[in-house]
Structure 1
Amino acid sequence: MTVAINDIVASIESLRNHVDIIDKRTIEQTYKNIGNATKSSVYFPDDAATILLGDDAAAIPQKDGSHLLLAAEGIVSHFLKSDPWFAGYSAVMVNISDICAMGGLPIAVTDTIYSFKAEDNEAIWDGMIAASQAYGVPIVGGHSCYHSAINALSVSILGKATSNILTSFDAQPGDAILLAIDLNGNYYKEYPFWNASTTNSSQNLQKLAQLPYKIANNKWSKVAKDVSMGGIIGTLLMLLNTSKVGAEINIEAITKPESTTWKKWLSSFPSYGYLFSCPTKNIQNIKSLFAENGINCDHIGSISKQPDLFLNYKEHKLKF
């Protein structure tokens, strides 16, 4: 037990200083520039509404009660250089995850791509097209520059949700916290990326993409966030920040691949991973839906009123 406790404590200490988790914590600095909310476009006065800023995608209310969803992702330069095919694939994939995390379904993506010459883009395009075809979401336009001093890539996405969206602003004290991850994969090369996407079938990827939509429209949950860079802990910190709540997490309740450490797993980026909070009465409905589709879903903790995150292991309660 002592070795296990020491491992957990050391892992938590290192996670506090993990660059991806620090990055997630400092995202709130963005809102000093643009605020926490904005009004919708003046050109559509009949759709006038307040749009909250800080979700995985912007949810823009429509007259019929539905929502347009808009998101974007940029790819860091060292990733684009070291693995251009997977960078292109990931740029499309993570945008789709952002839409799904809102309880929506993706419509189409556009890209902005810069390179010194056109040949530099071939592997990037191959990756984007592979993801587009795998998930059934078309690339419908964008902007290309073939005489740039640098290579750069960003992708944006449009999606749609009903009136029943998932958000990161509505976690309530007493809610259960659920973690759903597709464990049918492995780490991709040397990256902290748990890949259950490129090895999966298009049919299954498209089926799995619809599960958060079903959860939202069955009204089992109002709250979700996709697990991204910063992993389980970094993503949870973002959710707690927007909902202005805290949480207690039971580390032992999290299913971890035997071949990896807690430090690596808690900061890993799964290709299919979502955090949900929900009333306790809906725990089994959500877990059953994921289980029926081959996805591991753990009840890992609960939302608390006090805005602190505690990671509990056996009888030890560790403040993050």
Structure 2
Amino acid sequence: MSIEALAETLRAHPSIQSKLAISGATAALGLLASGPGTPGDDAAPLPREGGYDLLAGEGFIPAFVQDDPWFAGWCAVMVNLSDIAAMGGHAVALLDQVWAPDAGAAAPLLQGLRDASQSYGVPLVGGHTNLSAPELGIAASVFGRATRLITSFDARPGDTLVAAIDHRGTYRNYDNFCAALDAPADRLRRDLALLPELAEAELVTAGKDISQAGLIGTALMLAECSGTGMEIDLDAITPPPGVPQDRWLRSFPSYGFLLSVDRQWVNAVCGRFAARGIDASTIGRVTQGSAVTISQSGASALFWDHAHTPYMNLRAQDA
């Protein structure tokens, strides 16, 4: 596949296109990136004495929930904890919202929630349950705290892009690459703790967790929020064995973060992940402008220009 064809394939994929809905929702709610909670970040940071309170929430596509209810319950915990870690925080507690036709249908969702809560060591402290709904549904919210933040709005031209992804997994369904289910609980907890450690050591300029839009879509979101461009070197990205390149670029990893790092700290950042068996490598750089490009074997192509075609439409400075 040519580099231009790959860029077009990625642009058109539903997991990347789905994020375009964010701008309509934020506009309807009157939300701006400069407002409380800086919409566009992985969690909403609310300043408090000595740091920040963090709030985040996730809802799930009905087809995903119907296909694998237990895993949907697990993911409701996992993805929220990843959002808190991506902001440089520690999760404190979770709330769940479950809809089901009856208690039997709800059981695997609730078990998945409980199993993940116990594995990650973050308590479920309440929520909402409806047992007269026409189909299964789940959402969850999380509260956390941070001393120093990693945000989506601070990437700087000249920074190096570091992708840290746990390759010790397999696809569970769709493009969800899960490295969490067979991992010991202590490893799950300590791996997430790396992010607040990096934040508190001031080794990271900006970052996001790699979302359902995959590595390439997350790079676009980070670039747009920071008001920068990005160059992604596909030669520097090695998928796990047997995984096609285009699928890996759009995959949602259970543990994956894209970080903007000052060049002087790149080795230190990558070394901390490597010490825990997590693949971390430089995959590109932050640039001036608004173009996110991909390159491979000496050829390059435009993936997206967020100035010409807004993505989330949440910028570092609101127009």
Same fold (TM over 0.5): yes
- With a CA cutoff of 8 Å and minimum separation of 6, indicate the structure with the bigger relative contact order: 2
Aligned sequence identity (%) = 37
Pairing partner for 1:222 from 201, 205, 223: 205
Matching of residue 53 in structure 1 with residue 48 in structure 2: no
**Deviations 1:15-60 (CA, angstroms, capped at 9, x unpaired):** 1100110112442332212221476xxxxxxxxxx43111000000
Amino acid at match of 1:11: L
Aligned twin of 1:47 = none
Question: 2:160: which partner in 1?
Answer: 176
Instruction: Quote the Cα distance in structure 1 between the aligned partners of 2:186 and 2:295.
Output: 38
Question: Secondary structure in 2 aligned to 1:247?
Answer: strand
Query: Which of 287, 298, 302 is the matching residue for 1:315?
Result: 298
Q: 2:3·2:301 contact (CA, 8 Å) conserved in 1?
A: no
Corresponding residue number in structure 1 for 2:248: 265
Residue 219 of structure 1 aligns to a residue whose secondary structure is coil
TM-score using structure 1 length: 0.91
1:90-105 map, 5 Å: 90-105=75-90
CA-CA distance at 1:149 after TM superposition: 2.6
CA deviation digits over 1:125-171, x for unaligned, max 9?
A: 11111110110011000111111233211000000000x10000111
2:32 is matched with 36
Measured in 2, the distance between the counterparts of 1:89 and 1:8 equals: 36
Does the CA contact (< 8 Å) of 1:25 and 1:237 recur in 2? no
CA–CA distance in 2 between the matches of 1:83 and 1:287? 34
Structure 2 unaligned runs (5+)?
304-319
Contact 1:24 1:238 in 2 (8 A): no
1:1-320 maps to which residues of 2 (within 5 A)?
6=1, 8-33=3-28, 34-37=30-33, 50-62=36-48, 64-162=49-147, 164-188=148-172, 190-320=173-303
- Separation in 1, partners of 2:156, 2:209: 18
Structure 1: stretches of 5+ with no match in the other structure: 1-5, 40-49
Give the secondary structure class of the aligned counterpart of 1:51.
coil
Deviation at 1:199, TM superposition (A): 1.0
User: What one-letter code is carried by the residue in structure 2 that aligns with 1:131?
Assistant: A
The answer as to whether partners of 1:56 and 1:71 remain within 8 angstroms in 2 is yes
Match of 1:43 in 2: none
Equivalent-residue separation in structure 1 for 2:246 and 2:37 (angstroms):
36
> What is the aligned-residue RMSD (CA, Å)?
1.3
Whole-Å separation in 1 of the counterparts to 2:134 and 2:170: 35
Query: Residues 269 and 213 (structure 1 numbering): CA distance in 2 closer, same or farther, change over 3 Å?
Result: same
> How far apart, in 2, do the equivalents of 1:212 and 1:60 lie?
18
Q: Provide the C-alpha distance between the structure 2 equivalents of 1:95 and 1:207, rounded to a whole number of angstroms.
A: 16
Q: CA deviation at 1:305?
A: 1.1
Give the superposition deviation at 1:256.
Answer: 1.1
Aligned-residue offset at 1:230: 1.2
Contact 1:100/1:210 (<8 A) preserved = yes
Counterpart of 2:310 in structure 1 is none
Letter matched to residue 292 of structure 1: A
